[in-house]
Amino acid sequence: MKILIIFIDMLRPEMLHVVNRTREKGSLDEEFEKIGGTLYRNCFTPAPDTARSLACVWSGKYPYKNGCDKRIKYPGFFLKNDGKNILEILLEHGFNLSFFNNPNEKRNGVFPPGFNSRGVHNTDLNLEKFLQGLDIKDKSLVYISLADFHYAMDDFDYYPRFVKKGHQKVANSLRILRRDLNVDDFDHLLIFSDHGFKLRREFKKEPAYLLLNKARTNTFLLHRKKADRGLVVSERFSSVMDIYPTLCEIIGAPVAENIDGISLFSEKERPYLIAEEHTDFAPRVNQTINIWAVIKKNGIYYRTLDAHYFENHAAFTESPKELDLIIADHSPFFKEYVKEKQTLEYYRTMVLEKSVYTDGSRRVFWPSKMKRTAKKILGFFGF
């Protein structure tokens, strides 16, 4: 059994012709068509950044279960060990593991604990050299991480006209893979992205809660079996968490009961997916989640601490109160933050209230600007 996994960082599906026919076909679309397989158009991540999304892949669990529940919590340092990650399961089943990944990202903790030194690893970013040095045995998993699209968009500041350039960079790497690795040698191939992205204009103009819309939570997912020919698009509602049980089923390993992923081969399909995010976008210590979403195939319920919003209300039979309870089950701090917000409103009312002193005289409320001015004037006269 030979398995190939290709991770393409930050690839946004709806900007590809193979997903969205209104887009012009480009070099990356052509590469996916040559590879073939089943493309899952409705795949989502519960956590749209690299650290948390990869933790969901390795564990098959939501962030609140796997320990990587903040943007800076990379799996190499924070992934909980209360269940086996998928790489451990592959090792137990006798698989030889080979990894190609940016060495700096590897140090940052993209792999589960201990896997920076297990298996074969690249020493630089020369993909061609890595592939030519591989010895792929009968039981093998080869994992290739391609961050080229992310790099290109960073380099060109997320302007729309440079999306094509990013796609071209990934296509170049896929051509090297097809030339030096021979995709047909592998029994199963999985290609996925961890999250999407916002164009510069979208990020600036859209409200914060739309950080959880499909531009960032919809992810690329393609599965190809050895005998597959051509590209088929599936409408199945899926998640990056589904990679874990799918691999378990492929290698004949039992699937733990407490995971949230559902095998792509299963007849069962999830009714919804919970996503969560920080509005203070850059990673930092002690960051807090403060926006949430309940995602369905045809609609999204957004929740901030101040309000809720629907994208296609008709997709939901649940009330906002019922949807809030669903969020609370998957994001343990949600209820606490809501209570804190309510208390803050009470506090503000109390502070701004014009009431009386206990001797019966009336308090006078001065707006803060006037108060600061008065203090300066009174201070000048020695008060």
pLDDT tens figures, 14-64: 999 999 999 999 999 999 999 999 999 999 999 999 999 999 999 999 999
CB atoms near residue 335 (< 10 Å)? 14
pLDDT value at position 377?
Answer: 65
pLDDT value at position 58?
Answer: 98
3-state secondary structure 80-128: CCCCCCHHHHHHHCCCEEEEECCHHHHHHCCCCCCCCCCCEECCCCCHH
pLDDT value at position 375?
Answer: 64
pLDDT value at position 367?
Answer: 63
Q: Which amino acid is at 347?
A: Y
* Domains of the chain, residue spans: 2-269
pLDDT value at position 353?
Answer: 72
Coil, helix or strand at residue 362: strand
**Burial of residue 352, with CB atoms counted within 10 A of its CB: 0-12 exposed, 13-18 middle, 19 or more buried:** exposed
Q: Over the stretch 273-317, which tens digit does the pLDDT of each residue have?
A: 999 999 987 888 989 999 999 999 999 999 999 999 999 999 999
Contact 279, 272 (CB under 8 A): no
pLDDT value at position 26?
Answer: 97
Token representation of residue 312: 């296609």
Q: Which amino acid is at 271?
A: P
Q: Over the stretch 51-87, which tens digit does the pLDDT of each residue have?
A: 999 999 999 999 999 999 999 999 999 999 988 999 9
Coil, helix or strand at residue 50: helix
Reply yes or no on whether the pLDDT at 99 is more than 60: yes
How far is the C-alpha of 371 from the C-alpha of 42, rounded, in Å? 55
Cα–Cα nearest to 241, from 224, 265, 263: 263
Q: What is the mean pLDDT of the chain?
A: 93
Q: How confident is the model over 115-127, as a mean pLDDT?
A: 95
User: Which secondary-structure segment (H or E) carries 222?
Assistant: strand 221-225
Reply yes or no on whether the pLDDT at 380 is more than 60: no
Q: How confident is the model over 157-181, as a mean pLDDT?
A: 96
pLDDT value at position 379?
Answer: 64
pLDDT value at position 369?
Answer: 57
Cα–Cα nearest to 24, from 175, 197, 168: 168
Q: How confident is the model over 320-334, as a mean pLDDT?
A: 95
Q: Over the stretch 198-214, which tens digit does the pLDDT of each residue have?
A: 999 999 999 999 999 99
Q: How confident is the model over 221-238, as a mean pLDDT?
A: 96
> How far out from the chain centre does Cα 50 lie?
6
CATH of 2-269, one of 3.40.720.10, 3.40.1030.10, 3.30.300.30, 3.40.50.1370: 3.40.720.10
Give the contacts of 141 (CB within 8 A, at least 6 positions apart).
Answer: 2, 3, 4, 5, 90, 95, 96, 97, 98
Q: Over the stretch 329-373, which tens digit does the pLDDT of each residue have?
A: 999 889 999 999 889 888 877 776 767 888 988 877 666 655 666
How far is the C-alpha of 336 from the C-alpha of 111, rounded, in Å? 31
Reply yes or no on whether the pLDDT at 382 is more than 60: no
Q: How confident is the model over 112-116, as a mean pLDDT?
A: 96
Q: What are phi and psi of 131, to 5 degrees?
A: -65, -40
